[in-house]
């Protein structure tokens, strides 16, 4: 499997990219996924998962889900 580059963003940067977490794409056990737009050439659309307050072992479960690649690619293309 090829390496995946995952850039880091500040909360403020994600808030700006999602226009204040305006357009919801879906939700799951750990939070809600929002559509975002990162200014670049060419334009890049992103999906941002904003986590709910985690329960006692929720953080470990989320990390396991992420490590398995469960939320790296959208289930449906952006429209």
Q: Write out the binding residues.
A: 50
Q: Rg of the chain over CA atoms, in angstroms?
A: 13
Question: In whole angstroms, what is the distance from residue 12 CA to residue 17 CA?
Answer: 9
Question: In whole angstroms, what is the distance from residue 17 CA to residue 8 CA?
Answer: 13
What tokens does 24 get? 């919801």
Annotated binding-site residues for ATP read 50
């Amino acid at each position: 499997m090829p390496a995946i580059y995952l850039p880091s963003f500040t909360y403020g940067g994600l808030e700006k990219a999602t226009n204040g977490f305006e357009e919801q794409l879906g939700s799951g056990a750990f939070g809600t996924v929002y559509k975002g737009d990162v200014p670049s050439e060419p334009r890049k659309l992103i999906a941002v998962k904003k986590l709910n307050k985690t329960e006692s072992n929720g953080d470990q479960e989320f990390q396991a889900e992420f490590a398995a690649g469960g939320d790296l690619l959208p289930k449906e293309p952006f429209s």
